[in-house]
Amino acid sequence: MSEVVTEVVTKAIVRDVELPYGAGTMALITLDNGFDHTKPNTFGPLGLASLDEALDAIAARSDLAAVGVIGKPFIFAVGADLKGAATVASREEALEIGRLGHRVFRRLGELGVPTFAFVNGAAMGGGLEIALHCTYRTIAANVPAVSLPECFLGLVPGWGGTQLLPRLIGPAKAIKLIIENPLAQNRMLKGADAFSLGVADAMFDSADFLEESLRWASRVLSGAVSVERPSFAGDDWDKIVGDARFLVDMKLHGAAPAPYRALDLILASRTASADEGFAAEDEALADLLMGDELRAGLYAFDLVQRRAKKPAGAPDKALARKVTKVGVVGAGLMASQMALLFARRLQVPVVLTDLDQARLDKGVGYVHTEVDKLAAKGRVSADEANRLKALVTGSLTKDAFADADFVIEAVFEDMAVKKKVFAEVEEHVSAECVLATNTSSLSVSEMGSGLKHPGRLVGFHFFNPVAVMPLLEIVRGAATSDETLATAFAVGKSLRKSSVLVKDAPAFVVNRLLTRFMGEVFAAVDEGTPFQVAEHALDSMGLPMTPFALLQLVGPAVGHHVSETLHAAFPGRFGVSENMAKLVASGKPGVYKPDFSLDEEAVAVFSGGSDPSTAEQVRERVLAALAEEIRIMLDEGVVAAAQDIDLCMILGAGWPFHLGGITPYLDRLGVSSPRFLPAGVASVPA
Amino acid sequence: MPSSRDVVFVDGVRTPFGRSGPKGLYAETRADDLVVRVIRELIRRNPSLPPERVDEVAVAATTQIGDQGLTIGRSAAILAGLPKTVPGYAIDRMCAGAMTAVTSVAGGIAFGAYDVAIAGGVEHMGRHPMGEGVDPNPRFLADKLVDASALSMGMTAENLHDRYPAISKQRADAYAVMSQEKVAKAYADGKIQPDLVEMGIRTAEKGWGLATADEAPRPGTTLEGLASLKTPFRPHGNVTAGNSSGINDGATGCIVAARDVAGELGLRPKMRLVSYAFAGVDPEVMGVGPIPSTERALRLAGLSIDDIGLFEINEAFAVQVLAFLDHFGIPEDSDKVNPYGGAIAFGHPLASSGVRLMTQLARQFAERPDVRYGITTMCVGMGMGGTVIWENLAA
C-alpha cells in the first residue's frame, strides 16, 4: 500500500479472563485504535498484523477454553481503512488486500477452540466480518449500526462476508444485508435487527453487556446453552439470487459491477469450500478495487463525508449572526414545509405570513398535522410536539417579522413579486435581519438590487421534498455580505443540510444540469426518436429515475418554466419543447399513470418528429451536453470546483456513487476533454 | 397505613473489591458503573421481584462528587434500567453509608412508606481519595471541638492503642494474620464467590477484562512479614498497612423489604431486622464507636451480648475490633466473630462495606440454623459507631 497514507492502527490487545461457572480461561481480544468513538476502529495492514500477532500468541497456548473479541467503547470495528484502498495502484496489490484480510480473519474460525465475538458497538464491513468468522456472536441492544456497506461504495464484503453470512442466516437475509440495504441509501441495522436476522446468537443490554456475554459464553461452553443453527440447504438459492439480480438490474441496469459480483459470490457460497469461497472473494475484490466505479464511489463518499461538511468558499463561521426567530413569507406547501423544518431543527419561533387568512390557516394547519404525524410515529414526544406546534404561527401582516433574524420567501417564482415582497419585509425588520430567497432560477443580485440593505439578501435553494433532500444551494448575489453568507451557512448546518456555495447564475447547479439533461432527451423525442428509445437511452448510467419519471416528479409546468428561464439565458444550449408546452396545457401530470404504466395520450403529444436518433446517439448527445454545460459552469465560476458539481448532483439529484456524481463518469468515458479531474482522483491511476 | 411492620433482608451482592490506584482492577472503571452492575444483579437474582415494585434506591458514597455525585441512588437506578418511576437518593455516613442506607429504607418500610427498597453503597477511593474536596470548619480546632488527629483515621487508630494499652501491636498483627487466613479459607470453601457479581473492567492499555475476585487479600501473610511494615501515622507506632483495611474500590447492594410483601412476591428473605442504633463518641477515638452503638441496639432489642451468635464487625483497624471484643469479653479467636475474615483482607471501600457485612452474615446464618441472632457493626469517622441486630430466618 502507498507510503503517503498513514494508518491509524487498530491494536489487538489480549487479556485473560476467568470465565464464570468454572468454564475456564478465555483470551479476550480488545480491538482499540487508541482514540475515542469519534474515530472508529478500522483495519489496514498494520492493524491486521497486530491481530495476526495476537492470534499467534493465542494459538501457541493450550490452556484456553475459548477466545473472545470485543471492540472499544461504543465501537466494535467498522471495516477496512478506506484511505488505503483509494491508493492501490496494481491488481497484485489489490489481490493482496483480500488475501491478507482472509488469512488473518479466518484464523478466528480455525483456532481449535470456540471463538466469540462480543459486538459491543458499531460493526460495519470488515468489522462485521471479524464477528462472522467467530464461532458465536453476542450483540448489545444499543448498537446503532450493523451493516455490510461495501456494495454502497462499489466493493463486495471481501473478507469472508459473502461466504459466511449466507450460510449463517440464509441467502435471502444475507442479500438484504449485502445488497438491498447498501443500495437503499446504505441503510444500517440496529442491534436488535441484527439479532432478529440471526446475525448474532444472543443480545444483551449495554449496561453489563460484556459480563452477561461472558456468562452466556460460559454456558455455551458448558453445554447449558446450545445454539441452534438452521440449515438453508433446502432454500431455492438459484431463485432467491435470481430474483435479487432482477431487482438490482431494475435499479442499475449493469451500471455498477459490485452488487452483481456479490450475488455471484453469495450463490457460490452454497457449495464452495472456505478456500474456494475466500479465493473467489479475493478475485472479486481485486477486480473491483482496480475498477473505476469503486474509485468513483470512494471519491463520492469522501465528498459527502468531508467536502460537504466544509463547504468550499464559505466565509468565517464567526461572522454568522444568531438566529432566534424565523419569518417565512407565504403559506403554501413549500413555505409550510420550510416552517416545519426551521421549527424542528432551529427550535425557534417561526412565523408564516400571507395576505389570505384561509391560506394562512391551511399553512399552519399543515405544520400541525405533520407534527402530529411525527408524534404518532414516536419521532417526537408529546411535549416536543406541543413545543413545535406552539413555535409555528401565522400572521396576516409582516410586522410579525419585527424581531426575526432570518426571513425567507417562498412566494410565486416571479421577479417583480419577490422584489415587492422583500421591499415590504424590509419595512419591518431590523437592519441586520438576513433575507433569503428560495428561488430556483431567478437572479439573486437583481432581486436584492432594490433593497435598502442589499447585502442582507442571499439565495437559499432547497430541494423537494424539503425535509428529505440533503442539499442546499446557497447563492451569493453581487452584494451579499460575508455576514449574511456566514449566517446562511450556519442556518443550513443547523437544518442538517449540506450546503454548497454557488454563484448567482441561472438555475444554479442541479436544476441547470438536470434541465440540460432532460432537454436533450425531450428534444430527441420531439425530433422523432421513439419515446421508449429516448426514455431508456441512459439506463446504463444507473440513475435513480428516467428523464420522464423525473419530469413527473418535478411537474411538467415547473420543469417547463425552468427550461424557459434557461432558454432565455442560454438560448443556444437550452431549447424549449413545444410538445412540452402542449403537455403542460393538457394538465396531465406527466406521461406515466399512477400505476407507472404509460399514458399513451400523453406520449402521443410528443409524436410527429421526422429525424429519429438511436439510443446510442441520444446517449452520446446527452453526455456531450452535460460535459459541455459543466465546463461552461466551471469557466463561469458557478461553483469552486468540479467536486462541487458532483456533490450537488449526488445530494440534490441523487446521482449515484458509481458515477462519482457525474464528472468522474464523463472523464471515464472520455467525453470530457480535457478531463475534469486528474486521473487517480476518482479513477484508477493510469 | 400500617404503623410498623417487620423488615427483612432479602438478598445482597457486591462487586469484587479492588485495590485503589493506577494498577488496581478498577483504575479506569467508573464508580456509578459498579453500582449499576450490583443493582442489575440483584434484580436478576430475584426474578420474582418486578422492578417496578422497587419503591426506593438508596445508595451511599462518602465523596459525592463526579461519578459518585449526581444523587447516585437515582442516577444509578436510571443507568441500571429500572423503571423511571423508581426514585432514588444518595446517603452519606462515611464508612457506615451502606449500613445507613439499609436502616433508612428499613425505617421507611416499617413506617409503611415503602414495600421494597434497594440499599447499598459505593466508594471508588482511587478516583476519590479520602478527604477529596473537604473543607473542615476552622472552629473544630480553634474551639478544640476535636483533636487535630480526628480527621486522620490512622491517627485515631493509634489513639485507640493509647486508650487500651492491653492491645499491643503484636495482638493487632496476630489478629490481621488470622483475618487473612480466614478469608483465604472462605474463598477456598466457596463462601464468598456466590455473593460476588463479576465486573467488566477496561483500561486503555490492557483492554477489556473481568474482575472475578477481591484484589486486596494477601494470603500467606505472616507475623514476621507484618512486623517489618512501617507505621506511617506515628514513629514506632502500632498501626500499619498490614493491620488495617486498605484503600479500595467497590460497590455493594441489597434488597430490603416488608416481610409480608416479600412473602407475597415469593422472595426468600434471609434475615429479619431486630433493631439498629448509631452512637457518637470522641472523634479522635472513633474506633470505639461500635461499643455504645451495640449496647444501645441490644437494649432496644431487649437482648444481651450473650444472645448474639455471630458477629460481623468491620475491620477498619485490628485495634478497633480488639477494643470491641475486649469490651464485651469475647475471645479474639472466637468462631462467632468474622468467620469469613474481614476488611483487613477483603478491603474497605468506605461507604460500601456495611452491606458486605450483612451479606456475609446472611450466608453464615444459612449455614448455622442453630444461631438465632447476629449483629453487623462498624466504626465511623468523626466519632461514630453503627450496629444492626438481625434474626436468622433460616433458624
Tens of pLDDT, residue by residue over A399-423, are 999 999 999 999 998 999 999 999 9
Same domain, residue pair A59 and A174: yes
pLDDT of residue A350: 98
pLDDT of residue B1: 47
Same domain, residue pair A476 and A514: no
Tens of pLDDT, residue by residue over A219-260, are 999 999 999 999 999 999 999 999 999 999 999 999 999 999
Which residues of chain A have a CB within 8 Å of the CB of B202? 30, 73
Is A451 contained in some domain?
yes
Same domain, residue pair A233 and A270: yes
Strand partners, A75: A72, A122
Same domain, residue pair A354 and A423: yes
- Burial annotation A51-84 (CB, 10 A radius, 16+ → b, else e): beebbeebbeeeebbbbbbbbbebbbbbbbbbbb
Separation of alpha carbons A105 and A54, rounded Å: 12
Same domain, residue pair A270 and A241: yes
Which residues of chain A have a CB within 8 Å of the CB of B208? 15, 28, 30, 70, 210
Q: How far is CA B209 from the centre of its chain?
A: 26
Transcribe B138-176 into DSSP letters: THHHHTTSS-GGGG-HHHHHHHHHHH-TTS-HHHHHHHH
Same domain, residue pair A486 and A519: no
A3: confidence class by pLDDT, cuts 50, 70, 90: very low
Closest CA to B312 of B195, B166, B150: B195
Q: Which among B198, B206, B212 has the least Cβ separation from residue A15?
A: B206
Is A299 contained in some domain?
no
Burial classification of residue B148, based on how many CB atoms lie within 10 Å of its CB (0-12 exposed, 13-18 middle, 19 or more buried): exposed
Enumerate the active-site residues of B. Answer: 95, 348, 379
Instruction: Return the residue matching grid coordinates 426567530.
Output: A325
pLDDT of residue A273: 97
Q: Is the ipTM of this complex over 0.85?
A: yes
Instruction: Return the residue matching grid coordinates 514513629.
Output: B235
* Of the residues A450, A485, A503, the one at which a domain ends: A503
Same domain, residue pair A499 and A520: no
Same domain, residue pair A58 and A128: yes
Mean pLDDT of all residues in A327-332: 96
Helix (H, G, I), strand (E, B) or coil at B100: helix
Is A303 contained in some domain?
no
Helix (H, G, I), strand (E, B) or coil at B368: coil
Q: Are the beta carbons of A17 and B209 separated by less than 8 Å?
A: yes
Q: Residue B60 carries which side chain, given as an amino acid letter?
A: A
Tens of pLDDT, residue by residue over A518-547, are 999 999 999 999 999 999 999 999 999 999
Cell of A26: 478465555
Tens of pLDDT, residue by residue over A444-453, are 999 999 999 9
Residues contacting A311, CB < 8 A, separation 6+: A474, A489, A498, A499, A500, A501
Tens of pLDDT, residue by residue over A466-512, are 999 999 999 999 999 999 999 999 999 999 999 999 999 999 999 99
Same domain, residue pair A105 and A152: yes
* Of the residues A637, A655, A681, the one at which a domain ends: A637
Is A100 contained in some domain?
yes
Is A667 contained in some domain?
no
A6: confidence class by pLDDT, cuts 50, 70, 90: confident
Q: Are the beta carbons of B81 and A20 separated by less than 8 Å?
A: no
Which residues of chain B have a CB within 8 Å of the CB of A205? 81
A1: confidence class by pLDDT, cuts 50, 70, 90: very low
Give the nearest chain A residue to B77 (CA atoms). A207
Strand partners, A72: A75
Is A645 contained in some domain?
no
Q: Are the beta carbons of B210 and A70 separated by less than 8 Å?
A: no
CA within 13 Å, CB half, A671: 20
- Domain residues for A624? 510-637
Tens of pLDDT, residue by residue over A427-464, are 999 999 999 999 988 999 999 999 999 999 999 999 98
Number of domains in chain A: 3
Same domain, residue pair A41 and A185: yes
CATH number at residue A167: 3.90.226.10
pLDDT of residue A83: 79
Do residues B16 and B214 lie in contact, with contact meaning Cβ atoms separated by under 8 Å? yes
Q: First-to-last CA distance in chain B?
A: 30
pLDDT of residue B3: 60
Mean pLDDT of all residues in A324-347: 96
CATH number at residue A615: 1.10.1040.50
Cell of A140: 448489545
Residues contacting A347, CB < 8 A, separation 6+: A387, A391
Q: Which among B36, B205, B208 has the least Cβ separation from residue A70?
A: B208
Q: Which of residues 204-223 of B touch A (CB under 8 A)?
A: 204-210, 212
pLDDT of residue A2: 43
Burial classification of residue B295, based on how many CB atoms lie within 10 Å of its CB (0-12 exposed, 13-18 middle, 19 or more buried): middle
| CA–CA min distance B395, chain A (Å) | 29
pTM of the entire structure? 0.94
pLDDT of residue A494: 97
CA within 13 Å, CB half, B343: 33
Mean pLDDT of all residues in A648-667: 97
Q: Which of B208, B210, B214, B215 is the best substitution to test chain A (most A C-beta atoms within 10 A)? A: B208
Closest CA to A273 of A138, A427, A163: A163
Q: Are the beta carbons of B210 and A214 separated by less than 8 Å?
A: yes
Separation of alpha carbons A564 and A550, rounded Å: 17
Same domain, residue pair A75 and A211: yes
Closest CA to B97 of B374, B392, B357, B360: B357
- Residue B202 touches partner A, C-beta closer than 8 Å: yes
Average pLDDT, chain A: 95
* Of the residues A484, A503, A522, the one at which a domain ends: A503
Rounded mean pLDDT for each run of 10 residues along chain B, 395 residues in total = 82 98 97 98 98 98 98 98 98 98 98 97 97 94 93 95 97 98 98 98 97 97 97 97 97 98 98 98 97 98 98 98 98 97 98 98 98 98 97 94
Helix (H) or strand (E) holding B264: helix B259-264
Strands B271-280 and B384-392: antiparallel
Same domain, residue pair A149 and A262: yes
Burial classification of residue A582, based on how many CB atoms lie within 10 Å of its CB (0-12 exposed, 13-18 middle, 19 or more buried): middle
Is the pLDDT score of A4 beyond 60?
no
Helix (H) or strand (E) holding B58: strand B56-60
Tens of pLDDT, residue by residue over A78-120, are 998 887 787 888 999 999 999 999 999 999 999 999 999 999 9
Is A411 contained in some domain?
yes
